[in-house]
């Protein structure tokens, strides 16, 4: 089940990244995107409840597996050694529980900041009121400690995905002795590209002070 919930959350990240890049479209594209989501009403709450379930259940499974391994091996190894092959341990696999808990805490802060954060109410081109979440994003990422915090956590997510993306397909029986290295390489590329896509937004906004040429006004 960790594989299924993990893949579902990875798909969500891809969709979420695509939506975030609306901030580089027209001046009101990002706000219209978020307003469209909010206009879904009960459907949005159902989707958010489903996402919350996947996150919490994935966290529960991950913590349960980690506790099970701790119980089975009451004393840790002084030095990590590997016999090679697909089960080779690395920094990503050994830090899954730490990165996972950090990501869970980050999600709470992230959702609270942007879903319930104070924003101005502006008018759309059609004369309809909407929250100016675009400006909230820009104001947040021009604050150095917020931008840095996001970059650090996003880097941890990349580390989490290094191992998680590959192990998800392994647990589902998709990988084999012949394609293990290909899947692992694909997982690494996916994690790097996805997280660089996310990291670019706070880095660009901070470096340009929120007035870069890619941000339309």
* pLDDT value of position 32: 83
Instruction: Average the pLDDT over 127-152 and give the result.
Output: 89
Out of 21-25, 80-84, 151-155, 172-176, least confident range: 80-84
On whether residue 23 sits in a domain, the answer given is yes
What's the structural domain count of the chain? 1
> What confidence category does residue 145 fall into, taking pLDDT thresholds of 50, 70 and 90?
very high
Q: Answer whether residue 152 shows pLDDT above 70.
A: yes
**Which of 108-116's residues contact partners 24+ apart within 8 Å by CB, and which partners?**
113/140, 114/140
Strand partners, 130: 122
Is 128 within a domain?
Answer: yes
**Does 61 map to a domain?**
yes
Interior CA angle at 55 toward 62 and 90, to 5°? 40
d(CA 198, CA 18): 10
Mean pLDDT, the chain, integer: 77
Token pair of 157 as six digits: 């997510």
Q: Is residue 83 part of a domain?
A: no
Residue 129, beta-bridge partner list: 123
pLDDT of 65-106, one tens digit each? 666 766 766 555 444 454 444 445 555 556 666 767 777 788
Domain hosting residue 124, numbered range: 2-69+94-208
Judged by average pLDDT, the poorest of 80-84, 151-155, 199-203 is 80-84
Segment 12-38 shows an average pLDDT of 84
Q: With 70 as the cut, is the pLDDT of residue 171 above it?
A: no
pLDDT at 75: 52
Strands 129-131 and 121-123: antiparallel
217 assigned to some structural domain: no
CB distance 159 to 92 below 8 Å:
yes
Q: Stretch 147-173: mean pLDDT, rounded?
A: 77
Domain presence at residue 112: yes
Q: Is residue 187 part of a domain?
A: yes
CA pseudo-torsion sign 69, 74, 79, 83: negative
- pTM score of the predicted model: 0.73
- Assign 148 a pLDDT band (cuts: 50, 70, 90): very high
State the pLDDT at residue 96.
65
Residue 201 in any domain: the answer is: yes
- Provide φ and ψ at 216, rounded to 5°: -75, 145
Q: How far does the chain reach from its first CA to its final CA, in angstroms?
A: 45
Query: So what's the pLDDT on residue 84?
Result: 44
């Amino acid at each position: 089940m960790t594989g299924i919930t993990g893949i579902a959350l990875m798909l969500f990240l891809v969709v979420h990244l695509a939506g975030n890049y609306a901030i580089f479209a027209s001046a009101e594209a990002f706000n219209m995107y978020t307003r469209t989501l909010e206009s879904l009403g009960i459907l949005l709450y159902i989707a958010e409840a489903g996402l919350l379930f996947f996150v919490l259940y994935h966290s529960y499974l991950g913590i349960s597996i980690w506790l099970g391994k701790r119980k089975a091996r009451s004393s840790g190894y002084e030095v990590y050694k590997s016999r090679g092959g697909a089960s080779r341990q690395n920094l990503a696999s050994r830090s899954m529980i730490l990165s996972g808990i950090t990501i869970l805490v980050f999600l709470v802060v992230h959702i609270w900041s942007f879903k319930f954060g104070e924003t101005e109410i502006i008018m759309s081109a059609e004369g309809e009121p909407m929250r100016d979440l675009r400006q909230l994003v820009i104001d947040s990422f021009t604050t150095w400690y917020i931008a840095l915090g996001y970059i650090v956590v996003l880097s941890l997510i990349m580390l989490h995905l290094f191992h998680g993306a590959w192990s998800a397909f392994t647990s589902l029986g998709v990988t084999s002795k012949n394609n293990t290295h290909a899947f692992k390489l694909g997982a690494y590329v996916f994690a790097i590209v996805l997280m660089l896509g996310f990291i670019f937004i706070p880095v660009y906004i901070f470096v340009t002070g929120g007035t870069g040429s890619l941000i339309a006004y």
